[in-house]
Amino acid sequence: MTLVIRERRHQQALRLSLPQRNPPSLSSSSSSSSSSPLPHASVSLSGSSSSSSSVLVNLSDLEKLAVLGHGNDGIVYKVRHKKSNCFYALKVIRSNPIIGIDGSPNHVEAEILKKMDSPYVVKCHAVFDNGSCSDNGVSFVMEYMGGGSLYDILKHHRTLSEDVISDVAKRVLEGLNYLHAMHVVHRDIKPSNLLVNEKGEVKIADFGVSHVVVEEKESNGGGGDYDLHHYGNAGTCAYMSPERIDPESWRGGGGGDGFAGDVWSMGVVVLECFLGHFPLIGAEQRPDWATLMCAICFGEKVEMPETASPEFKSFVLRCLEKDWRKRATVKELLQHPFVNRGGCCNFSRKRLGDYVVLQG
């Protein structure tokens, strides 16, 4: 059984000028950055390993400080826990609460996601269900990452050095290794979903918040394959792998297991960090769906920058193999020389910390 993480992403976060949907109109109270109490929650899911969240009884324990971001599904606040004075990120989903396959509210998946405990994945400390209050739906109390996202860093600094990219890639791989071991497919790895703290540590974020769907393996011969046809096109199309953007073309080859798509997305991010722009289409091309599909599914093999090291080129090419069956696995990439440059990680993390754009 695999949890497939789906979240409708607001394309404004892309570094590409993709067609944008108009953001929802926000009330003055929800968009204000002034300090004010948050609404009381009627239900809290406990079980977090964090001692600070054990005293978080309801949302009234938190004070809203600033808006960190918003999209079609909700809004993210920087909040302060009044008793401990600790900072958190509060993601409020205004749309429907988490829905199970049977269409009923299903907090089991939320409980699983909240129990994830990895230094490479943004921690979810608590989940609140506001019952029939549709304006606030489900609220997630998340670890606060004061450095913003990798997208913010690239927007300000354009490119990163190979040593810094190496550490970023290693941490993303460790996060994916953890998620995949729990049968969780992220499906939306991109710069805006890789958050950075003040120490320069990168963590995977934005999974399982909007929609969690459980997929079962087909029972052919007991083994079976994961049917990507039913996965839909969740996530951001620019970072989709060929088998995700055009699943029908891959059904004859088993359809893929979903995990390989995360590897492709990470490869695109790594190359983008080096080049300073989205790497799969030319700057003069309009990044619409048709252009992206042609480039991702039918385009020539990505040309590597001449100034990149052989290790970098090899790593990216293993990630961007169009045939998912030949693409490198996360475990293979964790052994790759590019992410095992001895003794450089602490220095690289400090360098990335110097790039950090402090939020709020």
C-alpha 116/C-alpha 180 separation (Å) is 12
Residue 222 burial class via C-beta count within 10 angstroms: exposed 0-12, middle 13-18, buried 19 and up: exposed
Q: Which two tokens stand for residue 322?
A: 């169009």
Element (H, E) at 88: strand 87-93
For 32-69, the three-class secondary structure string (H helix, E strand, C coil) is CCCCEECCCCCEEECCCCCCCHHHCCCHHHEEEEEEEE
C-alpha 348/C-alpha 354 separation (Å) is 10
Q: Which two tokens stand for residue 247?
A: 């699943």
Active-site position among 73, 129, 152, 188: 188
C-alpha 296/C-alpha 118 separation (Å) is 31
What is the residue whose two structure tokens read 């996202």?
A: 149
Q: Does the annotation count 188 as an active-site position?
A: yes
C-alpha 90/C-alpha 24 separation (Å) is 18
Rounded to 5 degrees, φ, ψ at 284 are: -85, -10
In angstroms, how far is the first alpha carbon of the chain from the final one? 39
B/e letters for 281-308, b = 16+ CB within 10 Å, e = fewer, are: beeeeebeeeebbebbbeeeebebeeeb
Q: List 141's β-bridge partners, or say none.
A: 90, 126
C-alpha 93/C-alpha 73 separation (Å) is 6
Pairing of strands 2-6, 184-185: parallel
User: Catalytic residue positions?
Assistant: 188
